[in-house]
Chains A and B, each alone.
Chain A
């Protein structure tokens, strides 16, 4: 008997084999699709144009696929987000530039491309001291705007369908530290200015714990997964050694994850791009249940070895390459990748399939269709 969508995802997160690999499309901020690729997909499928709202903020320039598309591909997951606070400090700054509630400025080169963060409020202090952390305004965690309507939205899915539900929280400690203080500066501070690095991360963790508690008190009983993003890897290695991670960042991640588990029974999913193999034992140690996106094109992220070494303790969410296969391969290459992941990451359960990152504008619709149709084929 076929499983319900929700059962399929729950079982996968519990490392149980399922009737087919559960699939995600648009259930999180990094499994969505560029509007151009989406429009091409609709045309290819013979569906009418949809004019969905384009998310322009954060790493935006993406749309979340419509219900119709999710049903067409039999996608198992539905994702939800906290909203902007009522009293956000963020504001538009210029064409293609805005600041967010953390005082971080974002810019994009033109309409086709995503925003990236270009300036943080503590970035230009040459040798910051601990008290500089309190020199800027911080977001108010328990602003009710963040959760307005969230429970109703999730309840509606729960009452009218059997999909698995994931709550996507805003980014976590290290990503936010890097935005507020600067990418390079944050990494340097870990070695040259420990006291400041510690104080900055402590402050940020206070704020995000507050946001998470507010959100989980509202919907923690309704969700199957709670997800947060904190990139810790580049293409060929993690941002820092496991020793430096243990000393400087892990305690903050541990506090955050412990708090998540305390406020929900849902599985804790973390998103980190890049090569993070060195840090995975620590992720497991602090109670992370599942990692996304499993960037299989990065060094040390070979799926078979990952599942062999960590598959007992960790579930995998993602796995379909967006650096080579989806944009530059053909439908056959994509189908082979999907079958490959079913056999390596999916072996023994514990795998939810998704693209490694948002599908960019040039990804052909044939490849997108192949990714989902191969996933649900009978084996």
Chain B
């Protein structure tokens, strides 16, 4: 009987090699990839998210945990029969056009993947058309945008307008984040949610996307 808590603890303490080996051993002894993700990896990253939100840990601890989670995921993912069965929802994400600052966005991606979401990361400097294309091509629940420069904040409004023009706005939820962004701004520009940091992004998205 696999002790999933061991994997969770390896992720929490950022032991990427041990986490990958654990996943490999368990897969070969018949544990399903779905169980490894749901009972080992997600609880591990959930705990990291909680500790980060409560300021018990800082970026280095979060980053090495995410690295361990990814190392285990790289072993497990190819064995999944149908990855959408384990996905809690899908998110298209990027920094808005003109903004190359992607550190915060990358942390959000890590936390979302760790929480079991499918993430289409469009990177940085993402034009409204690229958000639309990715939304059209994938079965997307949420479009997530971030900006660090105050100058590029208006690009969030433009992207939302473009989603409306493409008749996609009613099909997806929109979440925004980034240092100059606020809950108030989200309401003002017609976004559905705002998250101040990577750990809260998971909470906001899980409220926006009901798990089936």
Contact = CB atoms under 8 A, between A and B. Distances in A.
A281 to B, nearest CB: 16
Interface in B59-116: 59-61, 63-64, 67, 97-101, 103-104, 106
Contact of A240 (B60, B67, B151): B60
B196 interface: yes
Given A109-B100, A109-B125, A187 B150 contact: no
Contacts of A184: 63, 103, 106
A113 B63 CA distance: 28
Interface string A335-373: 000000000000000000000000011100000000000
Interface in A195-224: none
A72 interface: no
A44 B130 CA distance: 38
B150 A362 contact: yes
B interface majority secondary structure:
loop
A79 B159 CA distance: 40
A237 B55 contact: yes
Contact of A109 (B58, B61, B99): B99
B152 interface: yes
Nearest to B59: A187
- Identify the interface centre among A107, A112, A116: most chain B CB within 10 Å of its CB: A116
A47 interface: no
Interface string B172-185: 00000001101000
B197 interface: yes
Interface in A145-178: none
A237 B58 contact: yes
Contacts of A109: 97-100, 125
Contacts of A322: 150
Q: Give the top 10 A-B pairs by smallest Cβ distance, nearest first.
A: A327-B150, A187-B60, A109-B125, A116-B100, A323-B180, A360-B151, A240-B58, A235-B179, A109-B98, A360-B150
Interface of A: 34, 107-110, 112-114, 116, 118, 183-184, 187-188, 190-192, 234-241, 244, 297, 322-324, 327-328, 360-362
Given A109-B100, A322-B150, 5 more contacts: A113-B152, A184-B106, A187-B63, A235-B179, A244-B60
